[in-house]
Amino acid sequence: PTVFASLPGWLPRVLSVGRLDLRSEGLLLLTNSGPLARMLELPSNAFERKYRALVCTGQERGVTGAMLRAMGDGLTLRDQTRFRPIRAVRTPLQPAAAGHEWVRMTLVEGKTREVRRAWQHFGFVVSRLVRDAYGPFELGELRPGEVEEVPRRCVARLLRLRERVLEGSGRAAPVDLAALEVKISRHD
């Protein structure tokens, strides 16, 4: 089963921006524009993906500052896969069972199962993974199965900002998302 089978009939044919694996939940962006999807997905454009991870640490040890710093420096896994720096911060978002810790994580690359593989590198398993934001788009109060349309003016603003950033550079550059005021509104 995929998310596409449960989409409302009023949506045009869409594709996903990035992906969530079967065991993950949260924000999934959908668009009918291939170029927009590609622009948002390219790591060189520096659109941040923000997650909450419930890390199963076991009773004997927990997440350490050294682990968080190592992620912040970028990781090289045993198979030589390299991850760009990941900002990770322990956070008491909600109560966690003994031997579990919630960690907020921000990354720009989005390699396959990056968050899960980063914690596996330290011998931990992620038991729950929630994507809260992708670039300027936030999950907010959206409930499971709900779909909200992003107003065209917000998408147009994002594209204009992107053009200004790239103007004259001839290459991709990080996008200053602080200049964006994107609101996701509900449509009944």
Catalytic sites, residue numbers:
21
Bridge partners for 1 per DSSP: none
Beta-strand pair 24-26/125-134: parallel
State whether residue 89 is helix, strand or coil.
Answer: strand
Q: Which residues contact 62 (CB under 8 A, 6 or more apart)?
A: 101
> With contact defined as beta carbons under 8 Å apart, do 107 and 121 qualify?
no
> What secondary structure letter does DSSP report for 151?
P
Compute the distance between CA of residue 24 and CA of residue 121 in angstroms, rounded to an integer: 19
